[in-house]
Copies of this chain bind each other. A is one copy, B any other.
């Protein structure tokens, strides 16, 4: 059986491009003892992928040159030599950017296609949802009545952060690029306000929408927007550092927040999060989020692109801000 795969060919300098990938066709290996063969149906596109393409230590090993690109996936078991998985099971795992994967079962878990569309397990019910849930609640510590600001607000993580903050009784402001996204945040997701960073002065808009200042800032973008928000924080504000997508393709050093001394003036805190730390509590979080979805309080949106061959261009949509909701690549239907 043939298997189309994207291998990392070279490490990008700045934005990734076609030259960083080898798109190859190989044979699917034999299924060994305690292994399963998975047909990949959906591949998750995540900003973190850019970091995995770099050499050097981070919270996870870099993808090696010549290896299949790492990716979270949803797929179906098509062969099994492990007692816990049978053909036909749907599973979440990290199968990479390829059509088939033969893997051990560590890190695989079964998902139920009757409870939610499969792609949703890569979004609200997957890592982005967990990131939003734990990052906001455990590190942002939002209290009812407080003002929560989130950047990348129309993205997979940001859109969930804002909705959970609304559920918790906060005044929620999203920062996103473009009028369409901003309208979506307010009209569809119930945010109290939205700022289009492409056309608005973020600092000025924040002063209008949050005249008392910002209690919690959930940062997905870094760069100028982080600096703008830092000028508007309140006493004992919490800044959750989840990502910095504006900086991932830099060829110059990351722009550090010039206004970080606002942390001092305001006795505020900036703290980094990595979702994997909460793996023991994913179940509890998923159950609560599923309840919110059922009650109509939490809306899920996926942005689906079809065709594994489109992987390089689809990845770039993230950095160009072209996705609305969770970006996934559909590889196969069944």
Contacts and interface: CB of A to CB of B under 8 A. Distances in A.
Given A241-B261, A244-B261, A261-B241, A266 B256 contact: no
Interface residues of A, number: 33
A223 to B, nearest CB: 10
A264 interface: yes
B270 A270 contact: yes
A317 interface: no
B227 A264 contact: no
A259 interface: yes
Contact of A272 (B58, B241, B268, B274): B268
A269 interface: yes
Interface in A262-284: 262-274, 277
A274 B270 contact: no
A269 B258 CA distance: 17
Can you tell how many copies of this chain the complex includes? Answer: 2
Interface string A32-70: 000000000000000000000000011100000000000
A52 to B, nearest CB: 13
Interface in A215-269: 222, 227, 241-244, 247, 253-269
Contacts of A264: 59, 241-244, 272-274
| Most chain B beta-carbon neighbours within 10 Å: one of A247, A263, A277 | A263
Given A253-B258, A265-B274, 16 more contacts: A58-B265, A59-B264, A222-B261, A227-B256, A247-B261, A254-B260, A255-B256, A256-B257, A263-B272, A264-B274, A266-B272, A267-B272, A267-B273, A267-B274, A269-B269, A270-B270
